[in-house]
């Protein structure tokens, strides 16, 4: 295989050198930044986040900061979920749509002050989108990417590590999706009880990128008694637990309802947002739309490098977007984007996986819940 080269156009995280020293074996590129995706032991890393504790360089989850008198107006305009009632110090998962009602990102929105927000984004250029919306509308805000780089601590022992780092008071009082600015031995950060796993834990939003190594070392040291080791957002764990990977599971025409995020958008609220009318029209007849479904995959499965075409009776019905081995089920599973008519549990679909023929069967577990 040819290499993807390292160069100036793609950014390095403040934890980059630490992850290299720790033996990272694979990166992806996310928001124009290298993001570790493997340390070479997928099953060991899965086991650690499920039963112990793991630390992840997720600095590529960049922030779009919106600050100024109209910040909440702009944050709400670009978010399909109600944000105006969110308290300072809280966060909310808030999908974003374009004017067609299609999903363009699925960030966590953090309210830092009445008029100050971070959108902690998935992999798409929301800085330009939000700045464009704000500028075109003449809103009184600044929109920029701040020097903020999340480091995730995930797993059932994450709180033990946090007790050593931050003390009992903070750990006991920090609710799910609550956040607070703290300093750790001179390292400034915002701690939030969040993260892209369902194993519990926090994210440390480092607010001085020059201190990445210091924060990494401090977390590694505090976590050593609990067996902490470097890991990454984990494909097996997140698919087993129904967390969406924007751009992997979705295509350019996927809307949030198709993606299983219907509970995280407000179509009947007394407020407007970009894409609301289009979404209402798209789903006026839900039968005409698609659904992201969990499937089992039977057959010799190659490594999935791109979506695989799905067919029923030789006719294309969509794609298997994502596939992985599930340790929990001890079989291969995937996510398929198919018409609602093919989304019923038990539906069998032929998958052309680069020449290998697989049988996908729609599971009776809706995407968004745990397998």
Nearer to ligand THG, 92 or 290 (CB): 92
Report 167-196 residues binding ligand THG (CB under 6 A): 194-196
φ, ψ for residue 97 (rounded to 5)? Answer: -120, 160
Name residue, tokens 């050198």: 17
**Cα 227 to chain centroid, rounded:** 25
User: 350-355 long-range contacts, Cβ below 8 Å, gap at least 24?
Assistant: 350/310, 350/311, 350/312, 351/297, 351/299, 351/308, 351/309, 351/310, 351/311, 351/320, 352/308, 352/309, 352/311, 353/299, 353/301, 353/302, 353/304, 353/308, 353/320, 353/323, 354/302, 354/305, 354/308
Q: Smallest distance from the beta carbon of 152 to ligand THG, in angstroms?
A: 7
- Of 117-125, 162-170, 270-278, 290-298: span binding ligand THG (CB under 6 A): 117-125
Q: According to CB under 6 A, which one of 77, 112, 122, 337 is a site residue for ligand THG?
A: 122
Nearer to ligand THG, 106 or 237 (CB): 106
- For residue 82, count other CB atoms closer than 10 A to its CB: 16
Q: According to CB under 6 A, which one of 52, 150, 231, 318 is a site residue for ligand THG?
A: 150
Q: Does 61 bind ligand THG (CB under 6 A)?
A: yes
Report 76-115 residues binding ligand THG (CB under 6 A): 92-93, 106-108
Alpha helices in 52-155 (DSSP H): 71-77, 126-136
- For residue 244, count other CB atoms closer than 10 A to its CB: 27
Q: Smallest distance from the beta carbon of 265 to ligand THG, in angstroms?
A: 11
Q: Smallest distance from the beta carbon of 103 to ligand THG, in angstroms?
A: 11
Q: Does 65 bind ligand THG (CB under 6 A)?
A: no
Nearer to ligand THG, 127 or 317 (CB): 127
Write out the two tokens for 123: 């992999």
Continuous segment of H or E residues that includes residue 92: strand 91-93
Q: Smallest distance from the beta carbon of 200 to ligand THG, in angstroms?
A: 11
Q: Does 258 bind ligand THG (CB under 6 A)?
A: no
- Of 6-14, 119-127, 179-187, 212-220: span binding ligand THG (CB under 6 A): 119-127
Nearer to ligand THG, 101 or 195 (CB): 195
362: left (phi over 0), alpha (psi -120 to 50) or beta: beta
Using CB under 6 A as the criterion, which residues of the chain lie in contact with ligand THG when the complex forms? 61, 92-93, 106-108, 120-122, 150, 194-196, 203, 243-244
């Amino acid at each position: 295989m040819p290499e993807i080269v390292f160069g100036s156009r793609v950014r390095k995280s403040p934890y980059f050198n630490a992850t290299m020293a720790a033996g990272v074996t694979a990166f992806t590129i996310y928001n124009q930044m290298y993001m570790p995706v493997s340390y070479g032991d997928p099953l060991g890393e899965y086991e650690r986040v499920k039963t112990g504790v793991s630390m992840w360089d997720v600095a590529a989850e960049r922030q779009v900061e919106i600050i100024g008198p109209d910040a909440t107006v702009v944050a709400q305009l670009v978010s399909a979920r109600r944000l105006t009632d969110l308290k300072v110090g809280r966060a909310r998962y808030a999908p974003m749509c374009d004017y067609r009602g299609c999903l363009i990102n699925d960030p966590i929105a953090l309210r830092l002050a009445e008029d100050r927000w971070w959108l902690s984004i998935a992999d798409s250029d929301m800085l330009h989108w939000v700045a464009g919306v704000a500028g075109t509308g003449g809103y009184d805000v600044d929109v920029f990417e701040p020097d903020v780089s999340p480091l995730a601590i995930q797993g059932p022992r994450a709180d033990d590590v946090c007790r050593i780092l931050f003390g009992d008071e903070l750990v006991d009082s920090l609710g799910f999706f609550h956040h607070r600015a703290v300093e750790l031995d001179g390292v400034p950060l915002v701690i939030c009880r969040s993260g892209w796993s369902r194993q519990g834990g926090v994210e440390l939003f480092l607010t001085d990128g020059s201190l990445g190594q210091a924060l990494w070392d401090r977390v590694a040291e505090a976590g050593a008694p609990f067996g902490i080791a470097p890991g990454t957002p984990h494909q097996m764990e997140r698919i087993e637990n129904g967390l969406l990977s924007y751009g992997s599971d979705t295509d350019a025409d996927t809307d949030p309802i198709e993606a299983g995020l219907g509970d995280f958008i407000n179509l009947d609220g007394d407020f407007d947002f970009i894409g609301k009318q289009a979404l209402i029209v798209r789903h006026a007849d839900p039968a005409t739309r698609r659904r992201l479904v969990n499937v089992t995959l039977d057959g010799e499965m190659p490594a999935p490098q791109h979506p695989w075409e799905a067919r029923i009776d030789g006719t294309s019905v969509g794609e298997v977007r994502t596939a992985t081995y599930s340790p929990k089920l001890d079989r291969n599973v995937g996510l398929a984007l198919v018409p609602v008519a093919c989304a019923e549990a038990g539906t069998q679909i032929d998958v052309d996986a680069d020449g290998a023929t697989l049988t996908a069967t729609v599971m009776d577990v809706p995407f968004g819940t745990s397998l």
